[in-house]
Structure 1
Amino acid sequence: MKEIRKYICICLLLFLAACQSVQVSDSSHITLEEVVIALQGKGVDLAEAEFPENVFGSVLENVKPGTYELGGKPFFIFEFKTENGRENGEKEFDKKTGTMELVSASTFKKRNILIFYVHEIDFNSDNVPFEKEIQEAIDGISEG
C-alpha cells in the first residue's frame, strides 16, 4: 500500500511538473499580411489606398487600420494585439459612431482582426459584391 501511494505521488508530481513547463504561445494572433493573402486566395483583390476622412478608418485602441480599396469602395483591416483589443476597438467605434448615420458597411472579425468593408449597398441586400469571398477567406485562416 505504501508503494502505491509513493507511485501515485510521483506520477502526480510528474504530471504537475509537465503542466507547468508547457509554454503557451500566442499562435492565435492573425497578421494583416495573413488576411490580405487569404483574401487574395479567394479572388478579393485589394489595392492600397488612403481615405483620410472616413470614420471607418479612424484609429481604434491606438491601432491605425490598413487601408485598401475593393471595387472602388473603402476596405479597412485592423490588426489588434489581442482579441480583447479588438473587442475594445469595436466598443470604441460604437461610441464614436453611436449618433451618426453611417453608410452601409459589412463588418468581419476573427480573433484579433476587425474588417470594415464600406460597400454602401442597402443594409438588407443579399447581393453585396465580395461579401461571401471575404467571409470564406476569414473563415479559412487556420486556427493557431
Structure 2
Amino acid sequence: MVRLLEKFPEERMKHMVSFKQTQLNRFKRVAGLQVDTNNNLNGENDPKLSINEIKDMLNRSKGPLGLQRDDLKKIQAVIPRDQFTEQDLKKQLESLKNLMSNKYQNYYDVGDKMYKPAGNPQYYSRLMDEINGQKKETFFSAMKVIFFGK
C-alpha cells in the first residue's frame, strides 16, 4: 500500500494538507515504518503538534490543559484510531489501484461532446491551463469570453 501511495501523483493544486502525504503517514504508521514528520508543502518543519503528541499529552495526566474529565473522554472518543483488518486493507489497496489505473475515468468516458461543448469549445482547456498555471487569463480576455463567448 505504501509503495503504491508513493507512486501516486502530486496534487495539481496545492492545499494546506496533501492527500498523498496524509495517506502515506497513515499507512506507514499501520505498517510500522518511520513516519515523515515534515508534512507541510513548503518543506519546512511544522511547529504544530502531531496526533501522537496530542494523544501522549491526553494520556499523561488526568486533566491536561485544564480540561474536565468529561471533556477529556469526549476528546479521546473522537481521536482517530486506525484498526484495519486484512480485508479492510485489501479493499483500500484495490481502491487505490483503481484510482491509479484510471479505471472509472476509462469506464465512464464522456467523449468530445462533453469536453468541447458547441457554445464554448475552449472552456475546459482554458480551465486546465489556468489550474496548471500554463496560461494566465487576464481581466480583458475573461470579459471577452463573457461578452462574446469565445
TM-score tier after normalising by the smaller chain length: under 0.3
TM-score, structure 2 length as denominator?
A: 0.21
TM-score, structure 1 length as denominator?
A: 0.22
Give the number of the structure whose residues are more often strand, by fraction: 1
Give the number of the structure whose residues are more often helix, by fraction: 2
